[in-house]
Structure 1
Amino acid sequence: MNISAGRINFLAKRYGLARYLEIGVAKGETFLEVAMPHKTAVDPVFAFNVAPHRGPTTQFFPQPSDDFFAALPRLISRPPYAAPSGERFCFDLVFIDGLHTFAQAYRDFLHSLPYSHAKTIWIFDDTVPCDPWSAIPDQETSRQYRKMAGLDGEPWHGDVYKAIFALHDFHPEFSYATQVTYGNPQTIVWRTEQPAERQRVFGDLARIAGLSYFDMLDCHRLLLPLDHVAALDRIGTVCDPLRHEGVLPRQRLVKPLCPGQGEGQGDGRPPCGAAR
């Protein structure tokens, strides 16, 4: 099974989650293996035939996520999104894997908040770039510079990690942990009853937007990188990455570069964590 789908299914079973939103579906490798009763897929261009998979509680929206969220207030007034009388429609788990940029990932998170509840879980994919080329926000530029460096493969994670830094500084009502040892690095986010008493590190979004891959490594503790089991076990607790014990060292976030050797990407790539 796809690693991301396995992780999502584990969380759905553990917490009784039913309503799933996936932003950025591509070939459907994760979405189609998610076993939740109500599923919504959003992608400007689906890279597979969605018709056989469409159903009363499995919906596909071929549009940018910004357009989807703009239309969602109208959608939730009719099936399958209409909630029982008096209840507000909410997603139980939101998987953010769309355009791999800080601005879009952060905006997708903010747009999803009105359709979440106290126990909603978010998963940000691609929150630890595997190297400086992977961290370039523009995908085509990332590919060009990787080719110039003599490296095979096309892994691209962009600067999604900056969205996690924004959560750290400006959203103390949310806690999170980043798993970096099993499959693609992903950050799991949840609400807590009491806000975390975290000290702001950057102070404003413009400063976060200007960070580089190497700044990310210098500030790696802010991602709260953990073993994948430890990350899942933190859900529901209040976390302060700067005070948390057991944070993995930055070496676990760095993948050695071997010119001429193919790079993995997405959920199929080897786990980050090999020594330099």
Structure 2
Amino acid sequence: MNKGMTFNALKAGTKVAVDPKFLFDFEAVRQEVPGTSFHETTSDDYFGNIASRDTAFDVIYLDGLHTAEQTIRDLVNATSFLKDCGVIIIDDVFPCSYVASLPNRRETRLIRQASGDTTGAWMGDVYRLVFFVETFCQQFSYCTVNNNHGQLVMWREPRRSVPDRTLTQVGEKAYKDIFLEKDSFQCAPLSQILKRIEAARR
């Protein structure tokens, strides 16, 4: 997000970007693209101090600190600013390796250096958020697009039941559980997910 590639490629009447440090000339984009605003701050600050009470979005895309704790906090805040027919997308829920799934980026770098791993991908433990949504967000349905490190897509549609799982158990989910409990991710093609969202809006 901080390089603007995804954000700037999107076309919408109103677009809002939040990041502590943008790595591109966002002032130039703001001037060139009407309806675009940038907030160089944390998501906590944006949701707590900047977004007004009547702010509401059709789509909220979460791709931030790559830790489960911060992403869950962003998710809980985002639900308060989502339109009834809106969707939330969470990036990086499928880490590409065990090392990439570690929540501490410094530890990830040290292990890579010691092992000679030259890949730079890092998703952190955002995968735990899938188990959180499955267990504690019953008013939302969701699916996961399994490409580009995985994107979870969720929309307002109540589910009849949720797993019997505690917050502690969610926090203890390990990289292996991505494979051992893959059904929890509800992987589906994007075309199928879009059909489900449309059906829920009727």
CA pair 150-234 structure 1, distance change in 2 beyond 3 A: farther
Matches within 5 A, 1:1-276: 25-55=1-31, 57-72=35-50, 75-76=51-52, 88-180=54-146, 182-192=147-157, 195-202=158-165, 204-236=166-198
Partners in 2 of 1:232 and 1:129 — Cα distance?
24
Could you state the TM-score of these two structures normalised by the residue count of structure 2?
A: 0.90
TM-score, normalised on structure 1? 0.67
Aligned to 1:81: none
User: Which protein has the bigger helix share?
Assistant: 2
**Structure 2 contact 96–149 (Cα < 8 Å) conserved:** no
What is the distance in 2 between the residues matched to 1:188 and 1:30?
16
- Tell me the amino acid that sits aligned with residue 65 of structure 1: S
Aligned match of 1:22: none
Number of equivalent positions: 198
How far the C-alpha of 1:150 sits from its partner, in A, is 2.3
Whether contact under 8 Å (2:130, 2:185) holds in the other structure is yes
Shift of 1:200: 1.5
Structure 2 gap ranges (5+)? none
Q: What is the Cα deviation at residue 220 of structure 1?
A: 1.2
Runs of at least 4 residues off by over 4 Å: none
In the TM superposition, what is the alpha-carbon distance from 1:164 to its structure 2 partner? 1.6
Which SS does the other structure have where 1:30 is aligned?
Answer: helix
Change (3 A) 1:127 1:188: same
SS at structure 2 position matched to 1:134: helix
Instruction: Tell me which structure has the larger Cα radius of gyration.
Output: 1
Does the aligned pair in 1 maintain the 2:93–2:151 contact within 8 Å? yes
Distance 2:36 2:162 in 1: 41
Q: Higher strand share goes to which structure?
A: 2
> Which structure 1 residue ranges, 5 or more long, are not aligned?
1-24, 78-87, 239-276
Distance in 2 between the 1:131 and 1:36 partners?
35
RMSD: 1.8
